[in-house]
A and B are shown apart, each in its own frame.
Chain A
Amino acid sequence: MYFLLAGPMVLAQQGVGIGTDAPQQALHIGSSTGTVRVESLNSVNNSYNGGDANGNMLVDDFYPLYVDGKGDFRLDLEIEDPGTGLDELDDASLPNSEVTITDADADGIVTTTITTFSVTTTRASILEVKYNLSFDVYEDNVGTLITDDLARRIRSYLTINGQTREYGPATKCYSSGVASSVAQRMYNSSTAYITIPAAGTWTISLLGAVSSDIRSGGGPGGPSLDTHVEFATGDDKILMRLH
């Protein structure tokens, strides 16, 4: 008996039942009301258990349970990018964060890939992405303000592996009629759930686009309007979580 108290207890049979004579799993709790209690996960011992969060003195607040790579229970959330950095997209280090359209543009829209992210999965997954993307709008790349009072459309969206399907699209318009206008700082923000069909390494692209012509998309209209959009000029955030 002393040996059992001092050393680890080993139960090597096929299954252990508590409240059942016929365990169907390695550990089987055969009770209609009983469950498993792990004190290292309770609010006293685990800072990721918020306890009585709603303050009603009842045990009725619940915290999602995860397992880590070893199979151990965990309450803390580890995600690919929590999006809590101060500025996750720095335009100074993104050579393609600006996009320009001219009056000679044929289809009335110009798109740029602002940045890309690589995501590796071991199974089919859903990638949750939330982003806040800043942008400024000018007539040209030296910061001339727009004065023609005609609307421009500024878009942002995500793609996977360069496919045509757009995720998380967000669009804003901008117009200005006088040179005393302000051209910064607007934001597109959106949430996307991107389907990742299988295990592998996948490229997620964040794209920005400007269109300045009512002919954009194939309809009738006049020539494009000179427009220059600078993305990621402010504090930008991206959260990514794999489900």
Chain B
Amino acid sequence: MEIFKMKKITLFLFLCIGVLGFGQVGIGTVNPQQELHVAGSNSTLRVESLNSINNSLNDGVNLSPVFVDSDGNLTLGDQANVGGNKPINFLIDVGDFIADDPYSPIILGTGSVVNSPLGSAMAVDTIATVALVVPQDAIVEVKYGVTLIITGNDLTLGCPCFYHTYDEAITMNTYFKVDLNGNGVIDGTEVTNIYGQKGQYYETNFGGSIGYPYMNGQGYLELPAGTYTLFFYGEVRDNTGSYSSVGFGGAQDYLKIRVYN
């Protein structure tokens, strides 16, 4: 008898939703607060298409995360996963985002060079720009790794390469800023909004290496949906009496950007 009643109610519900439509539905409540309101301290939804029998992404043992697709459908993801993103929505995933030899025909693996010449205690320059489309309001995660090569003469001119001043420590920083208004430059408040800082020092005596240590940086920023340009910078600090030439990204570097959710 109970089953029979449920059949009737189920049929009635189907007719109402499919044919007539109505404002709000309460299950277990006479005061629904949403279009569909399931009340009850132990009540929930069961969707059989998401269970382990019908969905290969549910292994029947571990909890499976639930996602929403662009239509608003509850899903466990694209089972075939052909041509689509996995649930971690990478926006950019490139293995070498800074050209190794931008000063061709010099084949040295300099990357983008920042020179701090005599008389300068600090030099900074753009080492890469990356266009970014953010499809939704989000916290955006930026992870990058950049190689370094350090010499005491201008790397853009090629070798012979000389050591930086022996025993003298210099420091190198990488970070990025974001062109928020799309005018193609970093200006206004964009100048002081700095993300993903990383820094290390270099010092050597005779026989030391000139490259390639890695800088692994991470940065998080909140962005509304839109199109942006990330400006990556390399910064070199040294003594004014020294010439320092640092190549950023001359070996294999990486950049991964995803919606952090």
Give the residues in chain A near B205, CB-CB below 8 Å. 149, 177
Give the residues in chain B near A22, CB-CB below 8 Å. 3, 6
Residue A130, interface by CB 8 Å:
yes
Q: Which 5 A-B pairs have the closest CB atoms?
A: A177-B167, A60-B84, A50-B135, A42-B72, A26-B43
| Docked-complex contact B216 and A176, CB < 8 angstroms | no
When chains A and B are docked, how far (Å) is the Cα of A189 from the Cα of B142? 14
Residue B104, interface by CB 8 Å:
no
Name the distance in Å between B130's Cβ and chain A's nearest Cβ: 17
Most B-side CB within 10 Å, residue of A9, A34, A76, A130? A9
Of B22, B28, B40, which contacts A4 at CB under 8 A? Answer: B22
Contact code string B147-166 (vs A, CB < 8 Å = 1, else 0): 00000000000000000011
Give the residues in chain A near B220, CB-CB below 8 Å. 82-84, 130, 237, 239
| Docked-complex contact B46 and A51, CB < 8 angstroms | no
Given contacts A42-B70, A59-B69, contact A50 B136 (CB under 8 A): yes
Provide the main secondary structure of the chain A interface.
loop
Residue A93, interface by CB 8 Å:
no
Which residues of B are at the interface with A, using a C-beta cutoff of 8 A? Answer: 3, 5-7, 9-10, 13-14, 16, 20-34, 36, 38-40, 43-50, 53-54, 65-75, 77-78, 81-85, 87, 89, 91, 121, 134-139, 165-171, 173, 192-201, 203, 205, 216-222, 224-225, 237-239, 241-242, 259-261
| Docked-complex contact B137 and A48, CB < 8 angstroms | yes
Question: Who on chain B is nearest to A38 by CB?
Answer: B72
| Docked-complex contact B261 and A77, CB < 8 angstroms | yes
When chains A and B are docked, how far (Å) is the Cα of A11 from the Cα of B27? 5
Give the residues in chain B near A73, CB-CB below 8 Å. 68
Name the distance in Å between B139's Cβ and chain A's nearest Cβ: 5
* A window 29-81: CB within 8 A of B: 29-43, 45-54, 56, 58-65, 70, 72-73, 75-77, 79
